[in-house]
């Protein structure tokens, strides 16, 4: 199968490796800057490089397109790819609004092409292990999930797509998408209700030229952030959020309560974690996306459990993000070929999550209690 990749940064390189591991042929790559896309193509051994997405689709006629650009570029790229009859593998966020994400999902369905949405940390072995234990009734009926993370990101990171809502930036687009997918995976659930609060703790960021790879942006932080000659860009997105949700699960008689708490710029004191509570016990997963050690709580207390051998199948030799892309690309390619594969996230979830993010950003569920004390 022939794959055309959009994006020359961290995600573009990672998607290229993932599809090659799935035994696909990466026939071309498209970027916004001519010398960058040419150099990246040469470094990766990709035979075709261009800055013209529409022309690349027409010339190469790929079976699959892999969208690895910032979220603000996704809409036009995906719409053109669907029109060309391509199956679409897309990084998060799917788009920048719920309306555009829903439109693309409907277009893909009408065209009959398959889609994959790379909110993909659910494929870590520890998460899959927890899913199995919950399904087996190890903790009884699931009642509550707690997903806590603090990233302590550098405040001087150069101004870019992560700072702009119109480019798919913000912690909801780039963090909550993963956490929602993990929660759904763990308790086989449907998201029924959502509410939340967001906060921009940053305000502004320095404008610095030369940043092309997201993973290397910290290397471009100015030495002196008080330099009066620096130019600044204004943030238009959230850097922290608190979200609560209610999920309907086939394994529970009551709704499952979920707390998602994320601080993009604040330090952690205790470890980041995902915990699933049940009527008979609990499961604790280390790390912000639950990719670390798994511990089970039962009548004997907490004990760490090893990962079953059949679940320790995430490819080695790369970071966790790249490993999960490998798993998803493999499922996607096999599904396109008509093989039976595990359930994976598609544009149905991508559109749902984008509409949820729109709802949270409106923060319109507050009750005014300023007069309560006067009437008490």
257 and 168 inside one domain: yes
Same domain, 151 and 227: yes
279 and 142 in a common domain: yes
Closest CA to 246 of 183, 179, 155: 183
Would 368 be classed as within a structural domain? no
Domain count, the chain: 2
Please indicate, yes or no, whether residues 161 and 303 belong to a single structural domain of this protein: yes
Confidence of residue 70 (pLDDT cuts 50, 70, 90): very high
Q: What is the pTM of this model?
A: 0.94
Residue 375 lies in a domain: no
Residue 367 lies in a domain: no
pLDDT per residue as tens digits for the range 332-358:
999 999 999 999 999 999 999 999 999
Indicate the residue among 288, 313, 338 that finishes a domain: 313
Q: Does a structural domain hold residue 199?
A: yes
Q: Residue 158 domain-assigned?
A: yes
Q: What is the CATH number of the domain that holds 264?
A: 3.30.360.10
Residues 108 and 183 reside in one and the same domain: no
pLDDT in tens, 105-123: 999 999 999 999 999 999 9
Q: What is the mean pLDDT of residues 72-87?
A: 98
* Beta strands, E only, 38-159: 49-50, 64-67, 87-91, 115-118, 142-150
Residues 189 and 333 in one domain: no
> Where residue 350 sits, what CATH number does that domain have?
3.40.50.720
How far is CA 103 from each of CA 152, 272, 351, rounded to the nearest angstrom?
35, 35, 8
Q: Residue 143's domain spans which residues?
A: 125-313
User: Which whole number is the average pLDDT over 81-99?
Assistant: 97
Within a domain: 372? no
Element (H, E) at 196: strand 189-199
Considering the domain architecture, whether residues 268 and 136 belong to the same structural domain is answered as yes
Instruction: Assess whether the previous peptide bond of 93 is cis (omega < 30° from 0).
Output: yes
The tens digit of pLDDT for each residue in 221-263 reads 999 999 999 999 999 999 999 999 999 999 999 999 999 999 9
Residues 290 and 213 both lie in one domain: yes
Measured from the Cβ of residue 223, the count of other Cβ atoms closer than 10 Å reads 6
pLDDT of residue 317: 63
CA dist., res. 228 & res. 61, Å (int): 50
User: Which backbone phi and psi does 200 adopt, to 5 degrees?
Assistant: -95, 100
Same-domain status, 308 and 352: no
Write the DSSP string, 253-282.
SSPEEEEEEEESSS--SSPPEEEEEESS-E
Instruction: Supply the Cα-derived Rg of the chain in whole angstroms.
Output: 21
The dihedral built from the CA positions of residue 12, 17, 19 and 24, taken in this order, carries a sign that is positive
Q: Is the pLDDT score of 315 beyond 80?
A: no
Residue 373 — pLDDT band, cuts 50, 70, 90? low
DSSP H/E element including 245: strand 240-249
pLDDT value, residue 316: 66
pLDDT at 142: 98
Within this chain, do residues 191 and 268 fall inside the same structural domain, yes or no? yes
């Amino acid at each position: 199968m022939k794959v055309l990749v959009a994006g020359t940064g961290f995600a573009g390189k990672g998607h290229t490796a993932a599809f090659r591991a799935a035994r696909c042929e990466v026939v071309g790559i498209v970027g916004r800057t001519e010398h960058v896309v040419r150099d990246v193509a040469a470094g990766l051994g990709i035979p075709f490089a261009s800055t013209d997405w529409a022309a690349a689709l027409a010339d190469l006629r790929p079976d699959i397109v892999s969208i690895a650009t910032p979220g603000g570029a996704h809409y036009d790229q995906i719409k053109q790819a669907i029109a060309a009859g391509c199956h679409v593998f897309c990084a998060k966020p799917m788009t920048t609004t719920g309306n555009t994400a829903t439109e693309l999902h409907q277009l893909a369905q009408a065209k009959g092409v398959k889609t994959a949405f790379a909110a993909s940390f659910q494929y870590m072995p520890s998460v899959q292990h927890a899913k199995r234990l919950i399904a087996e009734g190890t903790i009884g009926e699931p009642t509550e999930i707690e997903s806590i993370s603090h990233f302590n990101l550098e405040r001087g990171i150069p101004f870019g797509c992560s700072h702009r809502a119109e480019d798919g930036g913000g912690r909801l687009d780039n963090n909550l998408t993963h956490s929602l997918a993990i929660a759904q995976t763990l308790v086989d659930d449907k998201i029924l209700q959502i509410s939340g609060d967001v906060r921009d703790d940053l305000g502004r960021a320095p404008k610095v030229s030369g940043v092309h790879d997201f993973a290397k942006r910290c290397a471009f932080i100015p030495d002196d952030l008080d330099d009066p000659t620096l130019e600044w860009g204004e943030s238009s997105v959230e850097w922290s959020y608190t979200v609560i949700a209610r999920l309907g699960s086939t394994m529970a008689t009551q709704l499952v309560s979920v707390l998602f708490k994320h601080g993009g710029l604040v330090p952690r004191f205790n470890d980041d974690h995902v915990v699933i509570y049940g009527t008979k016990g609990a499961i604790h997963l280390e790390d912000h996306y639950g990719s670390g050690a798994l511990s089970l709580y039962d009548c004997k207390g907490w004990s760490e459990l090893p990962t079953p051998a059949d679940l320790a199948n995430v490819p080695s030799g790369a970071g966790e993000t790249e490993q999960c892309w490998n798993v998803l690309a493999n499922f996607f390619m096999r599904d396109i070929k008509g093989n039976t594969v595990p359930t994976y996230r598609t544009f149905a979830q991508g559109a749902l999550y984008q509409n949820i993010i729109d709802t949270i950003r409106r923060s319109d569920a507050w009750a005014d209690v300023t007069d309560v004390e006067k009437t008490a």
